Chains A and B, each alone.
Chain A
Amino acid sequence: MKHIRNFCIVAHIDHGKSTLADRLLEITDTVAKRDMEAQLLDSMDLERERGITIKLTPTRMRYQYKGEEYILNLIDTPGHVDFTYEVSRSLAACEGAILIVDATQGVEAQTLSNAYLAIDNNLEILPVINKIDLPAANVEAVRTEIEQVIGVPAGLAPAISAKNGTNIDQVLEQVIELLPAPTGDENQPLKALLFDCYYNNFLGAVCLVRLFDGKVKVGDKIKMLAAGKEFEVTEVGFFTPKQTPCAELSAGDVGYLCASIKAVSEIKIGDTITSAEQPCLALPGYKEVLPVVFTGIYPIAGDKYGELKDALEKLKLNDASLEFTKETSTALGFGFRVGFLGLLHMEIITERLEREFNLDIITTAPSVSYIVHTVDGRTLNVSNPSNLPKPAEIDYYEEPIVALKMWTPPEYIGALMDLATNKRGVFVDMQHLENNRTLLNFQIPLNEIVYDFFDRMKSCSHGYASLDYEPAGYQTSKLVKMDILLNGKICDALSLIVHESVAYQKGKALAERLKDIIPRQMFEVPIQAAIGGKIIARETVKALRKDVLAKCYGGDITRKMKLLEKQKAGKKKMRMLGNVEVPSEAFVEILKI
């Protein structure tokens, strides 16, 4: 066991985590150079395209050091604020963490939040300063910043260029020298952490596990403690990063096990796996993160409800943070209310539904979870505007607020202050940090930042600012439900909960936006915004005056049909709401108001 190191890499987004992981795989000959694809561990197309890591991929590497062979288990982690949960899961399986800091950017929002997460999990932190090949690199300043801001000694931190492969061996040496080996007893009953799970069509659920005590091999009877289910192990192994079966896994190892687990509901990420005959005590649960953003997801074609359900269940298997419950909308039919960790998480899930499962879906406006107090003294949690009681029954609302931290160079303080206060943020304080950076603290309603706050912050700081937030309770707030009427009928899927002070302005902007988005149709379509039955804005989509292929002679029918088929393909992206065709993007476009 003293030759095993289990570690992860944490960093702010774009500081070079996946690139360093690639270099480690190369230098340990885990992956032949010719098989190297840039960012190997990011196996999803979506991950490569966006340059982000979503799923964890634990990889076993072998490395000779001072005449002895070490097994290094690397667990790659996502870096975006939405995926703190995934980070916390991988941290629970490790003894140490490499903390990468960009030599040109210094400590940023997620550097800090991920470093603290690692420290909270009692991990040994190994700082590494990356991108020393860039002209703007300032290694010494970053060393000082790491020590001052994070409080971790950085004097020995390797200065590397993951891109060029400079000083990568120093990183591996420090992993072996400075990170602790796992402790545990392989003669004790099996005690393993189920920290992630993939779905494989042939094997069923592939459970990613970290063994703390005991051993596991094919044929063993295992028990999932929280789920209370027992299974027989059909395969154990590790990733290289290819799935590689082996004879057994023992205390200290990171690997996978399969046990013919077919039903998604049988798996609980974070569960303790133990021996069915000799159960151990459950491992302490690690930080669970609750979804903060909720949205309705509906199939464009009503008969795809079953497929959507299957797809969400499969995604849920890999993504414990995804929550969904059945929901019915008068406008959109059967669908789901889905809870996400943030907007990026939501975008990724919706994109995966469309790409990997080939589903055309409609996403309704994201909402947060409000507490509604009724006049008769009841308290309700409402995340779907259409589940609100009638206005007369509502006494008052409470909405979730967050403590928002924004790191920025001083020249953008003004713009960021404006942004946050326009979004009903309340300024708390400001701290000047090393490296010409400032930390702004705000209290801000969560629903103001779930839409496009991140993008706006990036654009008003030329990309330099970064943010992080954490829940800070609820506060009483003057909210109203705004309905949108199409052709005189309320379209529940377009309803929003908004702050009273901006309701009129939003209603007007929304009606105008919808007028642009909804194409002309055979009939005139009135669009109205209403609060409690009172119309506050009205626009009209005029009827189509003409939509006809002019001539059809010379016998060229094919071209005409192609034009019509194109028009038909466009229609597929439309959803009928009563008699009105609404493009599916309308539901998301309205958020940008």
Chain B
Amino acid sequence: MKPLAVYVHIPFCEKRCGYCDFVSCTQTQNIDAYLENLRAEICAFDFSHYAVKTIYIGGGTPSLLSPKQLESLLNCLPTCNGEVTLEANPNSLTEVNCKAYRRIGINRLSLGVQSFDLATLRSLGRLHDVKQAIAAIKLAHKYFDNVSIDLIKDIPEHAFVVPPQEVLAMIKHISIYSLTKNDQCVLDTDEPVNLPPEFIRYEVSNYARQGYESQHNLVYWTGGEYIGFGAGAHSLLNNQRFCNSSQIMNYRRENVQERTAEDIHAEQVMLGLRLRSGVALNLLPNKEQELKMLAEHGFVKITPTHVIATDAGLKVLNQLWLKLV
């Protein structure tokens, strides 16, 4: 049995956010029809050779679905004993739902908090305020051990605000992303993030307490196999990358690409540089000179087996990649 990560995309939202580049829409009246397609897609997949290690229900706003709808989706999937994540919005999380989520097998909540500053939330167009965010985190914490929050930084005219102490005490994982537009960071600066040391930066934009690294995302970042269901979802199976198209009510599989040895190598270096675990030195033969230069200037540190980007290096990861591939 090969290990497999499963991603399920729920593209519905109460409101579209300008910064979000995932497939999404506000036509919530289509949810049932969409779910029917989605279930059919999942049922058509042959899981017989796979052991599902993680499930991630992302969006969009998956918490717009009723627990019943979510349950019907999870019932289509094989049992998963690992991490089962649901993305949720702070403004729509309720106690009733939290209980139900636990009952149907969800064991990790990822909350789209985005900021602890009201002006920033308003400029991002979020529907919740700071109070609601904290209340949602409390609620999540009450029912779930493993709670993650998403934050955005490097927003013009809005300084990054570190989560308050009471929040940090309740969460295990934080994803902090630079605001981007058309894949470009909006600011060419990198705001410092001062989190307590127990939050370890295990990936360039992800921090976790020991043992709470996102198992699902680590599959993406370490070249493991994953299948994505739903509009715009991406997959890597049998060395092929493919994705579903973004027409929400009529998506189909497209862009099937067989990876060459060079593709795999380029990806491994790119993803490895982003991780605290680094890139295995045996992937970088004949790069001694470049590595030495980068180490001398403090962009990487070199262990006997790996090269690991330093904080300075993490700011210019593209340049590191270009030097090493």
A489 to chain B, nearest CB (A): 15
- The answer, yes or no, to whether B15 is at the interface (CB within 8 Å) is no
A548 touches B318 (CB 8 A): yes
B234 touches A554 (CB 8 A): yes
A556 to chain B, nearest CB (A): 5
Interface residues in B279-325 (C-beta closer than 8 Å to A) = 293, 297, 299, 314-319, 321-322, 325
Partner of A522, one of B175, B187, B266, B319: B319
Majority SS at the chain A contact face: loop
A555-B236, A561-B266 known; A550 vs B322 contact (CB < 8 Å): no
Interfacial chain A residues near B236, Cβ < 8 Å: 555, 557
B319 touches A544 (CB 8 A): yes
A559-B183, A568-B322 known; A547 vs B293 contact (CB < 8 Å): no
A552-B271, A568-B325 known; A522 vs B297 contact (CB < 8 Å): yes
CA distance A521 to B299 in the complex (A): 13
B178 touches A550 (CB 8 A): yes
CA distance A200 to B58 in the complex (A): 63
CA distance A548 to B267 in the complex (A): 15
B318 touches A564 (CB 8 A): yes
A561 touches B316 (CB 8 A): no
CA distance A548 to B178 in the complex (A): 9
CA distance A523 to B255 in the complex (A): 38
Which of B94-102, B121-129, B133-141, B220-228 forms part of the interface with chain A? B220-228
Interface string of A547-574 (1 = CB under 8 A from B): 1111111111111110111011001000
Interfacial chain B residues near A549, Cβ < 8 Å: 183, 317-318
Interface residues in A33-62 (C-beta closer than 8 Å to B) = none
- The answer, yes or no, to whether B243 is at the interface (CB within 8 Å) is yes
A547-B316, A548-B314, A550-B177 known; A555 vs B234 contact (CB < 8 Å): yes
CA distance A552 to B318 in the complex (A): 13
Interface string of A352-364 (1 = CB under 8 A from B): 0000000000000
CA distance A552 to B204 in the complex (A): 9
CA distance A563 to B317 in the complex (A): 13
A550 touches B185 (CB 8 A): yes
A370 to chain B, nearest CB (A): 38
Q: How large is the interface on A (under 10, 10 to 19, 20 to 34, 35 or more residues)?
A: 20 to 34
A554 touches B319 (CB 8 A): no
B178 touches A545 (CB 8 A): no
A522 touches B316 (CB 8 A): yes
B205 touches A558 (CB 8 A): no
CA distance A146 to B278 in the complex (A): 78
Partner of A564, one of B22, B217, B266, B293: B266
B220 touches A553 (CB 8 A): yes
Interfacial chain A residues near B297, Cβ < 8 Å: 522-523
CA distance A273 to B315 in the complex (A): 68
B22 to chain A, nearest CB (A): 6
B234 to chain A, nearest CB (A): 4
- The answer, yes or no, to whether A546 is at the interface (CB within 8 Å) is yes
Interfacial chain A residues near B266, Cβ < 8 Å: 561, 564-565
Interfacial chain A residues near B234, Cβ < 8 Å: 554-558
- The answer, yes or no, to whether A421 is at the interface (CB within 8 Å) is no
- The answer, yes or no, to whether A579 is at the interface (CB within 8 Å) is yes
CA distance A567 to B270 in the complex (A): 13
Interfacial chain B residues near A560, Cβ < 8 Å: 270
B220 touches A557 (CB 8 A): yes
A522-B316, A555-B235, A568-B322 known; A546 vs B185 contact (CB < 8 Å): yes
A555-B236, A568-B322 known; A545 vs B190 contact (CB < 8 Å): yes
B261 to chain A, nearest CB (A): 14
B270 touches A564 (CB 8 A): yes
A83 to chain B, nearest CB (A): 42
A571 touches B315 (CB 8 A): no
Interface string of B178-222 (1 = CB under 8 A from A): 111001010111100000000000001100000000000100110
Partner of B177, one of A547, A551, A565, A579: A551
CA distance A155 to B175 in the complex (A): 87
A550 touches B226 (CB 8 A): no
CB-nearest residue of chain B to A579: B293
Partner of B299, one of A522, A556, A564: A522
Interface string of A3-22 (1 = CB under 8 A from B): 00000000000000000000
A557 touches B271 (CB 8 A): yes
- The answer, yes or no, to whether B7 is at the interface (CB within 8 Å) is yes
CA distance A564 to B262 in the complex (A): 14
B319 to chain A, nearest CB (A): 5
Interface string of B250-275 (1 = CB under 8 A from A): 00000101000001001100110010
- The answer, yes or no, to whether B241 is at the interface (CB within 8 Å) is yes
CA distance A592 to B23 in the complex (A): 48
Interface string of B108-148 (1 = CB under 8 A from A): 00000000000000000000000000000000000000000
B241 touches A571 (CB 8 A): no
CA distance A561 to B321 in the complex (A): 11
Interfacial chain A residues near B241, Cβ < 8 Å: 557-558
A545 touches B315 (CB 8 A): yes
CA distance A295 to B297 in the complex (A): 36
Interface string of A513-524 (1 = CB under 8 A from B): 000000001110
Interfacial chain A residues near B319, Cβ < 8 Å: 521-522, 544, 547
Interfacial chain A residues near B220, Cβ < 8 Å: 552-553, 555, 557
Interfacial chain B residues near A553, Cβ < 8 Å: 175, 217, 220
CA distance A567 to B228 in the complex (A): 28
CA distance A565 to B7 in the complex (A): 26
**Central interface residue in B185, B267, B322, by most chain A CB within 10 Å:** B322
A562 to chain B, nearest CB (A): 9
B53 to chain A, nearest CB (A): 14
B57 to chain A, nearest CB (A): 12
CA distance A382 to B86 in the complex (A): 73
Can you offer 20 A-B residue contacts whose CB atoms are under 8 A?
A521-B319, A523-B297, A545-B188, A546-B188, A548-B190, A548-B314, A551-B180, A551-B205, A552-B221, A552-B271, A552-B274, A554-B58, A555-B226, A555-B234, A557-B241, A557-B271, A558-B241, A561-B263, A561-B266, A567-B322
Given A552-B274, A554-B58, 16 more A-B residue pairs with CB atoms under 8 Å apart are: A544-B319, A546-B188, A546-B315, A547-B315, A548-B190, A548-B317, A548-B318, A550-B185, A551-B177, A551-B205, A552-B220, A554-B234, A555-B233, A557-B234, A564-B321, A568-B322
7 tightest A-B CB contacts, nearest first: A555-B234, A550-B178, A548-B317, A547-B318, A551-B177, A550-B180, A547-B316
Residues of A within 8 A of B (CB): 521-523, 544-561, 563-565, 567-568, 571, 579
